[in-house]
Chains A and B, each alone.
Chain A
Amino acid sequence: GQDYHFGLEEGEGIRELFDCD
């Protein structure tokens, strides 16, 4: 099967995902 698909864009990281930006 193909590799993991990294979906997060530029400027998106764990901090943004948990509304801490």
Chain B
Amino acid sequence: PPQTPVRAVMNTIQQLVMILNSASDQPSENLNSYFNNCTVNPKESILKRVENIGRIFKEKFAEAVGQGCAEIGSQRYKLGVRLYYRVMESMLKSEEERLSIHNFSKLLNDKIFHTSLLACAVEVVMATYGRNTYQSHDSGTDLSFPWILNVLDLKAFDFYKVIESFIKAEASLTREMIKHLERCEHRIMESLAWQSDSPLFDLIKQSKEREGSVDHLLEPTST
């Protein structure tokens, strides 16, 4: 269900904190059944990716805020993974209702989908728990968006694709968190998606070729 103003206002950070604190670190039974319904079961690659990205995230976090806060980094990531599994399940449930299909093999074996969804979940946790705990360390590195994109080596345009579905799928987001994701969205649309290595340019080219119209839009280099 789309986010209604009342629901967003009613939700408090405590709600999401309580939900994440009691959530499991592993995929739920429901989520496992979605994995089992896939032509190619994605579970192993999902678990492997969560582990690999976790190592990188904790390393970069400790580098950014100091080894003394390394434990905070692993806590943030842990909660991010819980949110990632929770939102994935909710997304699949609504897609199942919308499309009345049960086999999401292609989507669930898509590395970019998972990396984007995980990045969004970790970004929400980072924004939720804020920076006050490690604010005192003059780390110089700003961990707010788009820091997570560099850590996960993720293109902004791919991150952008999950934002709206994430907001729809996670009913416990607060107004501030939705506003935060919306600011990320705008920053991507206004600048980050137009950087020269963005996948956007290939997509524009492909759609132009499909339309068969003259390709006047693309400049050789993005300005």
A interface residue numbers (CB < 8 A to B): 1, 3-4, 6-8, 13-15, 17-18, 20
Contacts and interface: CB of A to CB of B under 8 A. Distances in A.
B93 to A, nearest CB: 12
Interface of B: 2-3, 5, 8, 91, 94-95, 98-99, 104, 106-107, 110, 112-113, 161-162, 164-165, 167-168, 178-179, 181-182
A15 B107 contact: yes
Given A3-B8, A20-B110, A14 B165 contact: yes
B107 A20 contact: yes
Contacts of B167: 4
Contacts of B95: 13-15
Nearest to B105: A20
Given A6-B164, A13-B165, A20-B107, 5 more contacts: A1-B179, A4-B3, A4-B182, A14-B161, A18-B110
Contacts of A15: 95, 99, 104, 107
Main secondary structure of the interface of B (DSSP, over half): helix
A18 B112 contact: yes
Contacts of A1: 179
A13 B99 contact: yes
